[in-house]
Amino acid sequence: MSPGVKPYLTHLDAATLAAQLDHPDWLVIDVRHQLADPGYGERAYAEAHVAGARFLHCDRDLAGPLSGRNGRHPLPDPALFAATMAGLGLRPTTQVVVYDDAQGMIAGRLWWLLRWLGHPAVALLDGGWAAWLAAGGKTEAGAARVPPAVAGTAAVPRPGYTVDADFVEKNLSTVNLCLVDARAPDRYRGENESIDPVGGHIPGARNRFFKDNLQPDGRFKPAAELRAEWLALLAGAAPEQVVHQCGSGVSACLNLVAMEIAGLPGARLYPGSWSEWCADPARPLAR
């Protein structure tokens, strides 16, 4: 970005992106994905995408290898992820814009990952793919290109962005933890569980469905409205006490975006989330 230009740190609208679409220091990334159909995103991208956008796959690029006990979307290796982003053209001055067609569920994950590695100039396209089409945004077709191999850099995740299962378990009954579960209310209650082998939630977790941050058209609610809702949910807990989780550490990131928009920064992510938690039968659960 040009010196002195204020970066976009949470979200921006389709008109703003359209005005900067040809800017050499803006990078647009399509992360459309469906959990039940891992090939969906690449097919959708090939059919049509924001002109000039690159593609990243949720399972391959935004997550690391599975062990069976580290959740469905463990964090990627920092150096490999940094190399992938460098291969797309990411530089320290780059403004990144991310979008999906799942109400920000996947885009929020990439937003969080970039901030985790120290690149705050990343914003969600408010309303996602649908908003771009509704605004008459320029599109193109073509298969996704694999980023060229780039040597990994000394990528060091920023401290204070994550907690692990041990931290959660040790703090279940302390004031150090205000756990927020981003899954749909029925899955939070342990009903209609169709993804993970065990239904329920981590004891003490509060439920804030990630879609509750959005208006009916898929755009974020106004900042003041989000702030009021989040303050009511937290009931006096400080943002620094908040740990977000979901099924696998993906949709929870949209709650982190919403808290930033609401002026409540400082919350952390439990990346393993419910899929890691329930893999150990010795851990407590609630329904």
Reading the block at residue 210, the tokens are: 């990630």
Q: Is 58 a catalytic residue?
A: no
Distance, in Å, from the CA atom of 23 to the CA atom of 162, rounded to the nearest integer, reads: 33
The answer to whether residues 91 and 25 touch, using CB atoms and an 8 Å cutoff, is: yes
Residue with tokens 């989330």: 273
Amino acid at 267: A
Q: Is 213 exposed, middle or buried (0-12, 13-18, 19+ CB in 10 A)?
A: buried
Question: Could you please report the per-residue DSSP string of 59-100?
Answer: TTTSS----SSS-SSPPPPHHHHHHHHHHTT--TTPEEEEE-
Reading the block at residue 80, the tokens are: 């490999």
Among candidate residues 178, 246, 253, 278, the one labeled active-site is 246
The answer to whether residues 20 and 50 touch, using CB atoms and an 8 Å cutoff, is: no
Farthest CA pair distance, the chain: 54
DSSP 34: B
Residues annotated as part of the active site: 246
